[in-house]
Copies of this chain bind each other. A is one copy, B any other.
Amino acid sequence: MSAYTAPVEDIRFVLNEIAGLGDVVGLPGYEDATPDLVEAVVKEAGKLASDVLAPLNQSGDQEGCLIDNGVVRTPKGNREAYQQFIEGGWNGIPFEPEFGGQGLPWLVSTAISEIWNSANMAFSLCPLLTQGSIELLGAHGSDGLKATYLEKMIEGTWTGTMNLTEPQAGTDLARLRSKAVREGDHYRISGQKIFITYGEHDWTENIIHMVLARLPDAPPGVKGISLFLVPKFLVNDDGSRGDRNDLRCVSIEHKLGINASPTAVMSYGDDKGAIGYLVGEENEGIKCMFTMMNNARLAVGLEGVAIAERAYQQARDYALERVQSRDAASDSPESVTIIHHPDIKRMLLSMKARTEAARALAYSTAAYLDTAKRHPDAEEKARAQALVDLLIPVVKAWSTDIGIDAANIGVQVHGGMGYIEETGAAQHLRDARIASIYEGTNGIQAIDLVGRKIVREKGQTVAALIEKIRRFQPDTSNEDLAVISRRLDTGISNLEQATKWMIDTYPKDVDAALAGATSYLNLLGTIVGGWMMGRSAEIALNKLEAGVGDPEFYKAKIVSARFFADQVLVEAPTTCEKIISGATSITASNFAAL
């Protein structure tokens, strides 16, 4: 079993130096979140993660969940860990104090979420889904619904779920068939939903399902979908738990990973119809969903960062211990720890550098989110929101691909031991693998990025971002910064070229444009990541020159930034070429003829 230690130094560095915690806590309502308080909270989270959540990660995976006549039993210790989690107030970190939340910035919540997910991704999914439900309810629920449900959900004594997918309706929600029929002040819901994370469990006395369904007179397609709150147990007027609602968990899935989290097939309304309450307006369910989508996608992107970090820690620790083969650069015939071997170093740096870049991107996007929510100046607010909208698909897809890739490399560093489940390295790969799929597959993120965030506004926000990146002009008398700066300049030109091509091509040959969508997303992630790594290196160099802090920490930051430039940013010209001259075979392919 592998230990996990929250990378508190790294987190502090990114919060303060890259994502701008200082500015965020200056926003109205966040004044109490001083850097000292934030650091204390991060450290406390790290403690709970290491002591309670991480030790359950492997046992939970091996034990998995059981279902017996609709009752789901989660693995040993998970229920108790959840009690500890909510008793610590961790479920309410980013939410309004009005309903019992801690009122901390999303930036801080993001850092803490990383820690939970590194420690135990399967566990962390329950708070994640509850968080999404809280946002929906907070933004669109009636005062009555909020009064009844919000406090308990923010406390975590009740958990929340998202019920979107049906067998024929995954990405394509227009094909959704679940029904809702008006009945007095409520609705009767019926239909089957699949892939419902924590749709049933044994942690809390009630589960609040957010369900998409169609009214009988609804228009076809996504404009005819409404959102309902459907509790497992109805709630009496005095707030006590009432009757069992007409819904049940039919089965749970046997998955590749995140086995400690039950993924339920839910059936609504097998009897008289489940009682549900409208959230938002009729037929505006999808619109409601959009309000939580950015946060949910950020959270999934963060799972990528989190698993990459966990896999990196485990691989590095193994490489520091495992003795095998002599050092090629030495005359000694003695075998050395494998961390001495350049190919192992390459693998570890590939994990570390990309994890750092993805973390910097995710945290920065969270800071933009806080700014977009709270900034008193309308223009600043709008600018930040535009950046959020642009970067969210990148955070989601680029970071989850990094998570999978890092976990995959982590297995490789372990050699044969990596393939044995007992080692725990393989679990990270199995767990990470879902993140590029759910909450909109990474392909969908790329299509969203290109279609909605680039072409529709003719690249306005990406141009503003590029301008921001160009302002990074480090002191090139330092060789590392010179190389980073040069590679970044090349990358920016490639991004501009690819953006122009996308905007030109999309209207006249949408298939050619979409054939390059994934590469475009990777290119944008690489440039933004490279920029953030460049800033890290510059700051680290300044700290070193000023003699502040731990020199090894800052030296390592420069090394990983240089690696990112030489081994990742370097790909920008090729990625650009894949986009602008790589579509021919894709649009010409005709699989149906084979």
Contact = CB atoms under 8 A, between A and B. Distances in A.
Given A172-B335, A570-B582, A574-B570, A511 B442 contact: no
B567 A582 contact: yes
Contacts of A483: 584
Contacts of A553: 594
Contacts of A174: 335
A236 to B, nearest CB: 36
Interface string A345-388: 11111000000000000000000000000000000000000000
Most chain B CB within a 10 A radius of its CB, from A343, A422, A555, A578: A343
Given A328-B510, A437-B416, A344 B443 contact: yes
Contacts of A512: 342
A514 B340 CA distance: 11
Interface string A302-316: 000000000000001
A195 B320 contact: no
Interface in A411-428: 411-412, 415-416, 418-422, 426
A563 B586 contact: yes
Given A345-B586, A437-B415, A421 B254 contact: yes
A512 B589 CA distance: 41
Interface stretch (A163-171, A198-206, A276-284, A466-474): A163-171
A503 to B, nearest CB: 16
A577 interface: yes
B172 A342 contact: no
Interface string A287-331: 000000000000000000000000000001001100111001100
Given A324-B170, A324-B171, A573-B574, A591 B433 contact: no
Interface of A: 165, 168, 170-172, 174-175, 194-195, 221, 253-257, 316, 319-320, 323-325, 328-329, 333, 335, 339, 341-349, 404, 408, 411-412, 415-416, 418-422, 426, 429-430, 433-434, 436-438, 441-443, 446-447, 483, 510-512, 514-515, 517-518, 552-553, 555-556, 559-560, 562-563, 566-567, 570-571, 573-574, 577-578, 581-594
